[in-house]
Structure 1
C-alpha cells in the first residue's frame, strides 16, 4: 500500500468516518447484517491514506519497465519467475510432490514475497486489530477497516478438492498451475476478482481466519476508489449521506443502501486507542492469539525485549556459605 495525499475513501463516496468507538462497532454490525445471505471479508490498515494494492502490484511499480507496468502480461511473467525461484529453492513440496501454484503463492504471501494475493479475513475484529495495532508507528493517523462483499465472487481453493477416485498427489502434480490459470482466465473475462480459500492452513492462517482476494490485473479501474487492480462493482458509490443513514444510532434510516459491494470505515486516531483495550478482552484479538507461532513470539520480543538482571537472591551469599568454613590449604581432602 503506497501513501496517498488525501483520504480517497471519503472523497470517492465509498468511505465513512464513525464518530467514536460505539459508532465504529455499530457500523461493523450494520454491514454484516445489511442483507441476509451476504458474505463479507475484511481488511484492516493502520493508515487510511494507503491504497489497496497487492504486493505484486507494488513490485511491478518499482521494478517493471515503462510507464504502464500494471499489465496482466507483466504480472504473470513476474509471478512465474517467483514460482520458479521458489521451487528451485526447494519450496512448494509435499514429500516428493509439487504443491499447486496457488498453495505455494499463499505461502510466499505469508512471508512477504510479491504475489497477487491480498490478505483478508472472515473476522472483522481480526481486521480491526490490524487497523488499530500500536506497533506500526501509526497511532497518530487515521486507520481504515475495509469490508468487501464477496458473495457473488467465484471461490478458488489453493489445492483443488478432487473427487475421491482421482484425489492423488500425482493427479495434483500433473497440472500444478491449472487452478490458478483457470481462475485468472475467468477473472480476465469477467473483470472481477476471485476469493482464494487456503486448503492447507498453518497456525497463523487458522488463527486469523485468513483468506485472499486475487484478480487478473485490470489497470484501467477508477483510481479514485483507492483499489488498484480490483474491480468489485460497476455500481455508483453510495456516498456519505446514504452511508450515514445506514450507520445512524437509531434504526437504519430510509434511503440507506440495500447492498454494499465495498465500504471503508475510517478510524480516528483516538478511536484506535480506545478500541484496542476491548479487542483482547471482549473479542479475543491480540498478538499471541493472532500470531501463535515463532514469528509472533519474535514480534513480542521486539516490542518488549525485557530487562536482563541478576536477582538479588542469587548475588548475596547464602547462610550455608557463611556458616561453612573453607578447609585448610594443606588438607589432603
Structure 2
C-alpha cells in the first residue's frame, strides 16, 4: 500500500473505536478517499481489537489507513479466531501492488459472522479500497508551460477591430495613471525578451545576468578597437547598437498603444502574418494603496551615462536596486532622440535576469489561479510584471510589483487593423523614416521585381 503511511503502535491501538478509525483516515492522505471508503461500513458496535492482531499489524510495518479500517471492521463481524489470523495477514500481504486482490482472497475463507448484522460485501471492500488507492497515487508531473500559456492565462483576445479599439480604450481609462508603456509583437507565442537574450539562447548559452554583462563588456571593448568615441556615454552607445541591429539588452516599447498595435500586425515578416499578434503593456509604477496618491511616472533617469547595472554582480545587490524584481519598470529615453524614436514615441526597457522568489510565486499563483515555476515565468518575460485584467483598475499587491496586461489579436483581424492604422498615418515609412528603414523595405520587397511590375 502507500509507502509513506506509517502509523505508530499507539495509533493502531486506538483503532479499538470506530471514531478513531475515522480520525486516522482523515489525518492521513488520501483523507477524502479514505472517508469515502468508511461510509460503506455498517453501523455496528465493534468489540476490542485482539492484541494478537495488533501485534501482527505492527509487524507488517506499513499498512495504509484504509487497510487498518478494513481489518477492524472485518474483525467485528468474525467469531472464529483462525479467521482473525487470516484477516491480519492482509497487512503483510498488501504491501505490494495487489492489495485489493489480497483482501478479497483473505476474506474468502471467512464463514463465521455475527447473525443478523448487515456486514460489507466483498464488492464493497473492493470499491472502498479502489477509491483509497486511486487517491493515493501521485499525480503525473505536468508539462512545462510555454510563454503562450503564461500570457494566455490573463490575456483578452480580440476578434475584430472594434474589440481591439475597445480593449485599448478601457485599459487606458482604468490604468493610465500608472504611466503605461506598450510593446507589440507579431507572434503571440513569442516571449518578451531582448535581442541579446534571444542571441544567447539561440547559441545555447545561458541568459543569466553575468552572461549579459560579459557580452556588453565585449561590445564596449570592440567599440574601442573601432575607435568609436563614446561622448554621450555607454548607455547611448548601446542605444546606437540597438538602432543599428546589434544584439543588446534594450527592449523597444512605445508610449502610444496604436504604435504598439502597428508592430503587432505589421508585415515586416510575412511568415508571421498567419499567427495571432500580441500587445503587452506595463505600468511604470505599482498600483497605489488606498488613500495613497501616485505621481505620474517620469522617464527613468540613470545614475550617470555608463552601464550602471554592471556594478550589481550578485542577486542581492540586484534585488536591493530592483533590477529584475518587477517592482519598477524603468523606461529610458536617450537624451538625443533620433528621428525613428521620435516617430515611434519610443523608449527602452531593460532586459534583466528575473528574480522570482517564493513570495512572488505565491502572488502569481493567487492572481492566475494556478501555480507557476520560476523558470516558466523567466522564460516568458524578461520584464516582470504582475498579470492583471485589462478592464479593471489594477490593485495593489503585497510585493509592490507593477501590473502587466496582455491583448491577443486574432490573425484574421490583422489586415483590418493595418488598414485602420494607415488612416491614422501609421505606415512603414512613417514608423521607419530613415535610410535604414528604406533599405530594409527595399530588401524585403525586392525593388528590382517591383520596378518591373512583377510583384
Q: Are the aligned partners of 2:353 and 2:378 in contact in 1 as well (CA < 8 Å)? A: no
User: 1:291 deviation in Å?
Assistant: 0.8
Q: Does the alignment pair 1:74 with 2:214?
A: no
**Deviation for aligned residue 1:103:** 0.8
Tell me if the contact between 1:71 and 1:217 (Cα under 8 Å) persists in the aligned partners: yes
Q: Which residue of 2 aligns with 1:115?
A: 248
Residue 332 of structure 2, aligned match among 196, 203, 206: 196
Which secondary structure does the structure 1 equivalent of 2:237 belong to? Answer: helix
Between 1:299-308 and 1:30-39, the stretch displaced more is 299-308
Q: Secondary structure at the match of 1:266?
A: strand
Is the 1:203–1:292 contact (alpha carbons within 8 Å) kept by the matching residues of 2?
A: yes
Tell me by how many angstroms 1:181 deviates: 4.4
Specify whether residues 277 and 225 from structure 1 end up closer, same or farther in structure 2 by C-alpha distance, changes over 3 A only: farther
| Post-superposition offset of 1:210 | 1.1
CA distance in 2, matches of 1:276, 1:81: 40
Pick closer, same or farther for the CA change 1:209–1:44 going to 2, 3 Å.
Answer: same
Distance 1:57 1:120, change over 3 A: same
Query: Does the 8 Å CA contact 1:219/1:229 hold for their aligned counterparts?
Result: no
Partner Cα distance (1:124, 1:133) in 2: 14
Query: What is the alpha-carbon distance in structure 2 between the residues aligned to residue 300 and residue 178 of structure 1?
Result: 33
2:300 — aligned with what?
156
TM-score by length of 1: 0.70
Contact 2:262-2:421 within 8 A present in 1 as well: yes
Q: Does 1:232 align with 2:374?
A: no
Please list, as runs of the form range in 1=range in 2, the aligned pairs for 1:37-48 lying within 5 A after superposition. 37-48=177-188
Q: Which structure has the highest helix share of the two?
A: 2
Q: For residue 139 of structure 1, report the CA deviation from its aligned partner.
A: 1.6
Consecutive unaligned residues in structure 1, runs of 5 or more: 161-175, 247-255, 310-333
Q: Which residue is equivalent to 2:273?
A: 139
d(CA) in 1 for partners of 2:435, 2:241? 17
Higher Rg of the two aligned structures: 2
The unaligned stretches of length 5 or more in structure 2 are 1-144, 287-296, 357-373, 396-401
TM-score, L = length of structure 2: 0.52
Q: Larger relative CO (CA 8 A, sep 6+): 1 or 2?
A: 1
Give deviations 1:126-171, integer Å, cap 9, x for gaps.
11111111231222110111111113578434795xxxxxxxxxxx
Sort the Cα spacing of 1:261 and 1:18 in 2 relative to 1 into closer, same or farther, 3 A: same
Structure 1 pair 158–84 and aligned structure 2 pair: CA distance change class (3 A): farther
**Larger strand share, 1 or 2:** 1
SS of residue matched to 1:144? strand
Question: In the alignment, which residue of structure 2 is the partner of 1:251?
Answer: none
